[in-house]
Structure 1
Amino acid sequence: MTSSDLNKKREILFSKFPPGQVPEAADDLRRMDELEVDASYEKRVIGVAYDLRQHTLRELDEHLVDKGYHLDNTLMTKLTRALIYYVEDTQLHNIDAPEKRIKRSAQEAYIKAWEHHPHGDHDDTPPEWREYK
């Protein structure tokens, strides 16, 4: 996973009521470190850009809801939000997950098969005769 995969640009959509909450919410988010905020007052949207190692959309949404802001709760927005939460959680999990060693397990399988297969490198001489001096 490259660092560009961890740079996110998202939009947080607000409900129509109460009106005027986007400017206040944008100011609130601007106080957070490592977060770029771009508000579009007419569309009731705040654009945010962040590094996934610093913030997640879930964290930002929960912060705004805790402060009393009302996010858009239409079905499409809820589905989109849930998908983004899932993708970001999975990416964060995969950052910490150890890398799978598929080649090593395949290599071990070939080694085991080679050991059980008769081949020219095998010496049938008993060990005590090989060490006889």
Structure 2
Amino acid sequence: MRRETAYKLAGRRHDHPVAGAGIDKQREIRFKKLPPGQVNQALRALAMLKGLKVERTGEYALTLRYSVLDYSLEAIEDGLRDAGFTLDNTLYSKLVRALVYFCEETQRHNLISPERLIKQSNEVYVQAWSHHEHGDHDDTPLDLREYK
């Protein structure tokens, strides 16, 4: 039985509630001191993206607000690096960056995948059994049913 069929027979929904799901993120991107003026250039470049709110929070930092369904920090930072910006590369920044990348990727994966059958798994078999023909029916030929 296909997984989609099992979900339908158990009465599971495939849509996910968006309200309260924690999909709105606020992240900080830190830049290196050199080259000078890159924070302002990055601010102007990121402000053009739809659904991404950017504000300057420090001399070398920007704060981003976005939906995890639209953007990820990894994609934004990769785009900045490809455009020639140099991001802060301290050990602390690397650790925070790796954790955020993993959390956002996992959350995005969980939001787009269908719900798993955990509790009402027996309902699948009850529904499947009710769709089959019942009675004393055996497709085995008569001569093969008897032991000789």
TM-score (norm 2): 0.68
Could you tell me the percent identity over the aligned residues? 40
Structure 1 unmatched runs, 5+: 112-126, 128-133
* 3-state SS of 1:50 partner: strand
Tell me, yes or no, if structure 1 residue 28 matches structure 2 residue 45. yes
- Greater relative contact order: 1 or 2 (C-alpha under 8 angstroms, separation 6 or more)? 2
Alignment RMSD (CA, Å): 2.1
Structure 2 unmatched runs, 5+: 1-16, 127-135, 137-148
Higher helix share goes to which structure? 1
What amino acid sits opposite 1:36 in the alignment?
K
Aligned positions of 1:48-67 closer than 5 A: 48-67=64-83
* 3-state SS of 1:103 partner: coil
User: For the residues of structure 2 that align with 1:58 and 1:14, how far apart are their CA atoms?
Assistant: 15
User: For the residues of structure 2 that align with 1:88 and 1:102, how far apart are their CA atoms?
Assistant: 24
What amino acid sits opposite 1:68 in the alignment?
G
Aligned residues: 110
User: For the residues of structure 1 that align with 2:47 and 2:61, how far apart are their CA atoms?
Assistant: 14
| Residue 3 of structure 1: how far off its partner (Å) | 3.8
Query: Which position in structure 1 is the counterpart of 2:85?
Result: 69
User: For the residues of structure 2 that align with 1:17 and 1:75, how far apart are their CA atoms?
Assistant: 18
Among 31, 34, 42, the alignment partner of 1:14 is 31
Q: Which deviations, in whole Å up to 9, do the C-alpha atoms of 1:22-50 show, x marking residues without a partner?
A: 011100100111110001342x1010000
* 3-state SS of 2:28 partner: strand
User: For the residues of structure 1 that align with 2:100 and 2:32, how far apart are their CA atoms?
Assistant: 19
User: For the residues of structure 1 that align with 2:115 and 2:80, how far apart are their CA atoms?
Assistant: 36
User: For the residues of structure 2 that align with 1:31 and 1:87, how far apart are their CA atoms?
Assistant: 26
Tell me, yes or no, if structure 1 residue 102 matches structure 2 residue 113. no
